[in-house]
Amino acid sequence: MISWRTGTAALAAAALLAGLAGCSDPGAEKRGDPSLTIGAATEPDTLSPLLGYGKDGNSKIFDGLLQRNRKLELEPALATALPEVSQDGLTYTYTLRQGVKFSDGTPFTAADVVFTYETILDEKTSNGSRDEIAAVESVTAEGDHTVVFKLKYPYAPFVERTVLPIASQKAASGQDVNTGAYNTSPVGTGPYVLESWRKGEQMTLKANPGYWGGAPEVKSFTTVFIADDDVRATRLRAGELDGAALPPSLARTFENVDGTRLITAESVDYRAVTLPTGNPVAGDKAIRQALNLAVDRELMVESILKGAGRPAYNPLPENSPWFAPEAEVPHDDAKAAQILDSAGWKSEDGGIREKDGRRASFKLWYPSGDKLRQDHALAYASEAKEVGVEVKVQAGTWEVIEPVLGEDAVLAGGGAGFDPDFDLYSTLHSGLIGNGWNNMGHYTDPGVDEALETGRKSNDEGERRQAYSTVQRLFADDPGYTYLTHIDHVYVVSDEYEGLTTQLEPHDHGMGGPWWNLQDWTLPQ
C-alpha cells in the first residue's frame, strides 16, 4: 500500500504506477516512475505568485512562509514557526528556514520575501489580489533569515495571508513583472518544478529532487485543461484521466461505473448572480429584493447539486461562525410580487412587468461549457419569470463577459473562506469596482463600505462581529447579488486509490482536491 508520510492513510501502489491510462510520459512505465494525470476546468493565466498565482496556498511549485494542514491549521513552511506578533498587532516577525534552495539552486533568503511582497504592492504590478495585503506598510530583512512586517493598522487575519508563495528575486527580477519569462518559467522552492506547459492543453510538473521537505515519490503530475464539463467527464470515462472534478449531476453518472469512485469535499464555493448597480433593471432595489425572495435555494441544492451543497444568502456560508442569521431569506413569491407591485413594476395577465415604459428584463451571462453555472442560470431565469422578471440567459467566454460586468448580470463564483474580510471586502467594497474580478456586480453602499473598513482595521472580535453583521444586514436590504448555493466539490477518481483526504475548499480548486498533499504520498519500500 501507498501511505501518507503521516501514516494516517493509504493508497494502492498500482494507482500511481506510470502505466495508468492517461500517463503523459509513456516511458515512465519502463522506469517505474509513479505519476498522476487529472482533468481541470480552468487553466492559470500565469505561474507567477507576483501576479496572484497560488495566493491561497497549495501551490506545488512554490511555498509560503506558512502552509495549512488538512484541518486548515497554519503550520510553518519557509518559516520555522508561526510569527512573533507585537502587542499592538502592528509588527509580525518571521524566522526563516535555513538551507532551503530554489529549484535552480539559488539559496532562499529574507531578500526573496521582501522582493515578493514589495513587488506585489507595487501599483505597476498587475496583481488583482494586491488589496489582500494592503495592510502592509513595510517589509524588511534583518539578515538572511529574519523578515519583519510592519502594518498600517492591526489587520486581524494578516497571518493567514502569509501562505502567499515566495518568488525568487534572482529569477524574477530584471524583467517586466507583468509580461516577463517568469510567468511561464517559474522558479520556486516547492515540491515540484514545471516540466512543460502546452497552453490550452496541459501542464506537467516533475518532482523537485532538492525539495527541502524531501523529494516527492510521485514523480510526475499532469493537469489536462478541459473547460467543458461534459468533455471532461467523457475523457475520464474513457480512461484518459486518473481523476477530475465534475458537477454533482455528472459525477453521479459514475456511481456504478467499474474502476471509479466519488469523493466529496465540503467547500465555501458559491454561485451567485451579479446585479450591476448601473443596470436600470438589475440595479433597481425592488427588483433585487424580489429576486432574492423568488429563488428556491433548497430546490436548487436538491435538483442541481443532488444534495452536494447548501443554500447561499451572501458570500459567507450558513455554517460560518460569522454568518448573521438575519441574512437568511425564505422563498416567497407572494412577497416578491408585492414588493414589485408597490415599487411600480406592474404586469398584465401575469406577463413580464414594466415600469415607466421599461421592461423588467436583463441579460445573464455564464461561461460556455460550464454545466453547473448553466443549470443555475436557467433555474434562476425560470424562477424570476414566475414573479414577472425576464432574465435572458447567454453563454460566452470570459473574454466576452469581462467587458460587460458593469452592464449585464453574470453567473459568478467565489469563496475563499477563513476570515470574513477575505470574502466580503473583495466582493462588496465599492473601492474595488472595476478592479479585475473584484466586486463584479459594481455594488455600492456607503454603509457597507464603512462597516467593511471597521471589520478590516479592528483587532477586537466583538467590534468585528458587529461590523460584519451590519454588512450582511445592509446587503440583505439591497442585495446587489442573488446568492444561490454553496457547492461541494465532487471528484471522480480511480477506485485503486484508498484513504484519500480533502480539505475544506475555496472556490478555486487549484491544486486542492484529493491530491492536495500529493508531495507527501509515499510508496512502500
Q: Name the residue with cell 502552509.
A: 67
Residue 150 has pLDDT above 60, yes or no: yes
State the amino acid at position 485 in one-letter form: T
For residue 253, pLDDT over 50 is answered with yes
Q: How confident is the model at residue 265 (pLDDT cuts 50, 70, 90)?
A: very high
pLDDT of residue 524: 61
Average pLDDT on 118-132 reads 95
% the chain with pLDDT above 70: 92
Q: Which amino acid makes up residue 147?
A: V
Q: Which CATH architecture has domain 270-487?
A: Roll (3.10)
CB 521 within 8 A of CB 35: no
pLDDT at 39: 95
- The answer on pLDDT for 20 being more than 50 is no
Q: Can you give the pLDDT at residue 435?
A: 86
Output the pLDDT for position 32.
55
Q: Note the helical H segments in 389-481.
A: 398-401, 420-428, 446-457, 461-477
- CATH superfamily placement of domain 46-188: Dipeptide-binding Protein; Domain 1 (3.90.76.10)
CA distances from 318 to 9, 304, 315, 486, 487 (A): 30, 19, 9, 9, 12
Decide if 467 contacts 447 (C-beta within 8 A).
Answer: no
Domain ranges of the chain: 1-43+199-265+489-525, 46-188, 270-487
Mean of pLDDT values over 289-300? 98
pLDDT of residue 16: 37
Task: Name the pTM for this structure.
Answer: 0.88
Question: What is the pLDDT averaged over residues 380-384?
Answer: 98
Query: In the predicted model, is pLDDT for residue 36 greater than 60?
Result: yes
Kindly report, residue by residue over 327-338, the tens digit of the pLDDT: 999 999 999 999
- Distance separating alpha carbons of residues 273 and 295, to the nearest angstrom: 11
Q: Is the pLDDT of residue 90 over 60?
A: yes
- What is the per-residue pLDDT for 510? 54
pLDDT value for 38 = 95
Q: Compute the Cα dihedral for 286, 442, 468, 52 and give only its sign.
A: positive
pLDDT at 281 over 70: yes
* Contact in structure between 223 and 201 (CB atoms under 8 Å): no
SS3 content of the chain, % helix, strand, coil (to 5): 30, 25, 45
Q: What are the residues facing 490 on neighbouring strands? A: 246, 264
CATH tag for 1-43+199-265+489-525 (out of 3.40.190.10, 3.40.640.10, 3.40.50.2300, 3.30.2310.20): 3.40.190.10
Residue 272: strand pairing partners: 412, 483
In angstroms, the CA 502 to CA 243 distance is 14
State which amino acid sits at residue 308: A
Instruction: Check residue 349 and give its pLDDT.
Output: 77
Q: How far apart are the first and last CA of the chain?
A: 10
pLDDT band at 417 (very low <50, low <70, confident <90, very high): confident
**Predicted local distance difference test score (pLDDT) of residue 104:** 97
Residue 43 has pLDDT above 80, yes or no: yes
Q: In whole angstroms, what is the distance from residue 410 CA to residue 424 CA?
A: 18
Alpha carbon distance 291, 380 (integer Å): 9
Region of poorest pLDDT, from 11-25, 74-88, 262-276: 11-25
Evaluate if residue 351 carries a pLDDT over 60: yes
**What's the pLDDT at 511?**
58
8 Å CB contact between 49 and 164:
yes
pLDDT for the residue numbered 6:
30
pLDDT cut 90: percent of the chain above it: 85
Q: What are all long-range contacts of 41-44, with beta carbons under 8 Å and residues at least 24 apart?
A: 41/225, 41/226, 41/227, 41/229, 41/232, 41/245, 41/370, 41/509, 42/225, 42/227, 42/509, 43/199, 43/200, 43/203, 43/225
Is pLDDT of 479 > 80? Answer: yes
Is 239 a residue whose pLDDT tops 80? yes
Whole-angstrom distance, CA of residue 32 vs CA of residue 365: 47
Positive or negative torsion for Cα 72, 77, 81, 86? negative
Let me know if 128 is exposed, middle or buried by CB neighbors in 10 A (0-12, 13-18, 19+). Answer: middle
pLDDT at 469 over 70: yes
